[in-house]
Amino acid sequence: MPYFKPFKVIIIGFDGVLGSALTGALDLFSFTGVSWQRFLDEPVEPRFNVQIASVGGVDIRCSNRLMVHAHCDIQEVMECDLLLVPTIGDSIDKVLKQNSELLPHLKRLANTNADIASNCSGAFFLAEAGLLDNKIATTHWGYANKFKADFPLVDLQENQFVTQSDNIFCAAGGSAFYDLGLLLIERYCGREISTQVAKTQIIDSKRGNQNSYTNVTLHKPHSDQLVKQVQEFIEQNFRQPMQVSSLAAMVNITPRTLNRRFQASVAMRPVEYIQAVRIEQAKRLLELGDVTIKSLADQVGYDDISSFTRLFKRATELTPKEYQDKFSRLAI
């Protein structure tokens, strides 16, 4: 028996869904904790309990005419850890109209603690449900003009592979879902498990603009808008010198109050969050394998290389060079 309870993943099924996006998501999460273990003859420990849900639990006719059996009725899903909306493979307007009964359930589950994620044109479902109003999102570049015309309240960033706004994630076209999938697996299971999945599925994760989702594992959902504002400022300006006093002044509160609200929202003080963001960015740069250790500290906002190295080792138990040797994707 596994020593943990698998995370519950619900994949929305609907007539007109892209078959490969539906079954690909099912495979990616279902085999997390399975394939790698089989290869190494270790005990299998599935990390996710994955189900396809449709309205009424009816079978799903994919855009390629493949019929897929739903595991459950979306109306009976009261909670989940992650809700996935795959790609629309047929006419977007037709699919949205024919599957309008899904929208109340998307809204309902978005109001729980669940993460919500869409792939490609699946973002149209989230936007139609009003979940992306005044939030950033992405979709396939070929649908960008239509998306902007249909949903002017959404901050569409079609040049991004992956976006996050609170607990809502969007991936761009087609295989960008695998980038998001790996990041969500890392969010729930950690970097080591995500790397295992990338290797077993032969997924090249060295694609796209990594900076846009460096902090997915840090940016946990919470309701304090002031803290979110400061988080976003830190994530956009982490290379610059930062003082907690100036961050507090920026939002018109005292440093003590900012510390207290950060602790309540993200379980760390602002200075710890700044360090965590910088360390996460350093990890990404080292994993890409195209950065020298000498220039790394400067790229993530540290003037003193020895101070940065101490912080990095405290966070990872490895020096930057050891981390690069172990995790650089050039070595995979």
- CB-neighbour burial class of residue 142 (10 A; exposed 0-12, middle 13-18, buried 19+): exposed
What is the mean predicted confidence (pLDDT) over 2-17?
86
> Alpha carbon of 270 to those of 22, 110, 302, 310: distances in Å?
39, 27, 16, 19
Residue that wins the pLDDT comparison between 85 and 280: 85
Q: Is the pLDDT of residue 214 over 90?
A: no
**Cβ atoms of 12 and 102 closer than 8 Å:** yes
What is the mean predicted confidence (pLDDT) over 250-260?
95
**Cβ atoms of 176 and 162 closer than 8 Å:** yes
**Cβ atoms of 19 and 62 closer than 8 Å:** yes
What is the mean predicted confidence (pLDDT) over 103-129?
94
Q: How confident is the model at residue 186 (pLDDT cuts 50, 70, 90)?
A: confident
Q: Go through the domains of the chain in sequence order and give each one's CATH number.
A: 7-205 (3.40.50.880), 225-331 (1.10.10.60)
So what's the pLDDT on residue 123? 96
Of these ranges, 66-80, 210-224, 311-325, the one predicted with the greatest mean pLDDT is 66-80
Q: Is the pLDDT of residue 178 over 90?
A: no
Determine the Cα–Cα distance for residues 289 and 321; give it in Å rounded to an integer.
10
> Alpha carbon of 88 to those of 111, 112, 132, 186, 243: distances in Å?
23, 24, 17, 26, 46
At 117 the three-state DSSP class reads strand
Q: Is the pLDDT of residue 330 over 50?
A: no
Q: Is the pLDDT of residue 207 over 50?
A: no
pTM (predicted TM-score): 0.65
Determine the Cα–Cα distance for residues 116 and 163; give it in Å rounded to an integer.
12
| Out of 19-23, 132-136, 323-327, least confident range | 323-327
The fraction of the chain above a pLDDT of 70, given in percent, is 90
**Cβ atoms of 32 and 199 closer than 8 Å:** no
Determine the Cα–Cα distance for residues 119 and 173; give it in Å rounded to an integer.
7
State the Rg of the chain over Cα.
Answer: 21
At 215 the three-state DSSP class reads coil
CA 149-154-160 angle, 5° bins:
100
So what's the pLDDT on residue 208? 45
Helix 305-316 and helix 270-288, axial crossing angle in degrees, nearest 10: 90
Per the prediction, the chain carries an average pLDDT of 86
pLDDT in tens, 33-70: 888 888 888 888 899 999 999 999 999 999 999 999 99
So what's the pLDDT on residue 204? 64
Determine the Cα–Cα distance for residues 16 and 94; give it in Å rounded to an integer.
9
So what's the pLDDT on residue 193? 85
The fraction of the chain above a pLDDT of 90, given in percent, is 50
So what's the pLDDT on residue 292? 79
**Cβ atoms of 204 and 193 closer than 8 Å:** no
Helical residues (DSSP H) of the chain, grouped into ranges? 19-30, 35-39, 92-98, 103-110, 123-128, 144-150, 176-189, 191-200, 225-237, 244-250, 255-266, 270-288, 293-299, 305-316, 320-327
So what's the pLDDT on residue 41? 85
So what's the pLDDT on residue 209? 41
- CB-neighbour burial class of residue 147 (10 A; exposed 0-12, middle 13-18, buried 19+): buried
Q: Is the pLDDT of residue 218 over 70?
A: no
Residue that wins the pLDDT comparison between 284 and 219: 284
Determine the Cα–Cα distance for residues 222 and 189; give it in Å rounded to an integer.
20
So what's the pLDDT on residue 17? 95
Q: How confident is the model at residue 23 (pLDDT cuts 50, 70, 90)?
A: very high
